[in-house]
């Protein structure tokens, strides 16, 4: 039970937590009630930067969700041009993260990082379709052991102003590994290889590193979803 309550905090969050606590003390010198406002900000930062452990399905061919959040769309779209993956549309699963979701991003599959590209853009609402093309983003291309390419993209949102990606070209990665985060509120897209059907539906809630988005070894068609 204690392990479930004392969730680790990502290292990127400590400067924000510390700054909020210092602000709380300083502001209290001018007006005591402001201390509680600063303390509330510190509590929110602690919650936002939580970094829970996840149990990733360990089987070759599985593509897991790169983020917590809600599937906002499943559609056929050309991957980001900066990744040089061609002009053929691929199935894209878009996951929208609100400010209350865990914002740690995780690698969706086993493979090697074969492309990285940063695009400086705008900061419209990440829930909108145009956010994938217009917003600031970090695009990643990875190649699986059997030579298939998967792309995943960190997209900044209306409030988010900082994308953190720790991956490097040529790095070998495993599904479920942490690779970065986006501050505060954002979206993450994953582009599946040609012919691979998504196993999730719009409106479904994702758990980063755990929810299976697709199976590269399956011939199953796209799944639908119903509210029940």
CATH number, domain with residue 210 = 2.70.70
Same domain for 104 and 164?
A: yes
The model's confidence at residue 84, banded by pLDDT at 50, 70 and 90, is very high
Residue 103 lies in a domain: yes
Distance, CA of 138 to chain centre: 11
Same domain for 185 and 159?
A: yes
Contacts of 221 (CB under 8 A, 6+ apart): 197
Q: Which domain range does residue 15 map to?
A: 2-48
Please answer whether residues 20 and 41 qualify as being in contact, where contact means their C-beta atoms are separated by less than 8 angstroms. Answer: yes
Predicted local confidence at residue 1, as pLDDT: 55
- Structure confidence by residue, pLDDT tens digits, 162-191: 788 999 999 999 999 999 988 766 889 999
Same domain for 94 and 125?
A: yes
Same domain for 66 and 33?
A: no
Same domain for 204 and 122?
A: yes
Q: How far is CA 153 from CA 139, 144, 186, in A?
A: 4, 17, 11
Same domain for 89 and 163?
A: yes
Same domain for 72 and 44?
A: no
205: tokens are: 């809630």
Three-state SS at 103: coil
Residue 57 lies in a domain: no
Same domain for 36 and 130?
A: no
186 catalytic? Reply is yes
Same domain for 26 and 122?
A: no
Three-state SS at 125: coil
The model's confidence at residue 211, banded by pLDDT at 50, 70 and 90, is very high
Residue 56 lies in a domain: no
Please answer whether residues 63 and 199 qualify as being in contact, where contact means their C-beta atoms are separated by less than 8 angstroms. Answer: no
- Structure confidence by residue, pLDDT tens digits, 10-44: 888 788 889 889 998 998 888 888 899 989 999 98
List the beta strands (DSSP E) in the chain. Answer: 62-64, 69-77, 90-97, 104-106, 111-119, 137-143, 149-156, 162-165, 172-173, 178-183, 186-191, 205-206, 212-215
Question: Of 72, 114, 139, 186, which one is the catalytic site residue?
Answer: 186
- In total, how many domains does the chain have? 2
């Amino acid at each position: 039970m204690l392990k479930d309550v004392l969730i680790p905090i990502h290292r990127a969050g400590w400067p924000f937590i510390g700054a909020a606590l210092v602000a709380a003390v300083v502001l209290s010198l001018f007006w005591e009630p402001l201390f509680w406002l600063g303390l509330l900000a510190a509590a929110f930062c602690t919650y936002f930067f939580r970094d829970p452990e996840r149990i990733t399905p360990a089987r070759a061919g599985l593509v897991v969700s790169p983020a917590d959040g809600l599937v906002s769309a499943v559609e056929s779209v050309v991957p980001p041009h900066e990744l040089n993956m061609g002009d053929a549309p691929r199935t894209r699963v878009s996951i929208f993260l609100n400010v209350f979701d865990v914002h740690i991003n995780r690698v969706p599959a086993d493979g090697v990082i074969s492309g990285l590209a940063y695009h400086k853009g705008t900061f419209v609402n990440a829930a909108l379709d145009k956010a994938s093309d217009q917003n600031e983003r970090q695009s990643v291309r990875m190649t699986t052991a059997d030579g298939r390419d998967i792309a995943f993209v960190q997209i900044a949102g209306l409030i988010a102003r900082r994308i953190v990606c720790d991956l490097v070209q040529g790095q070998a990665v495993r599904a479920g590994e942490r690779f970065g985060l986006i501050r505060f509120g954002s979206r993450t897209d994953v582009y599946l290889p040609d012919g691979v059907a998504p196993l999730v539906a719009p409106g479904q809630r994702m758990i980063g590193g755990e929810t299976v988005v697709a199976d590269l070894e399956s011939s199953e068609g796209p799944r639908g979803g119903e509210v029940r």
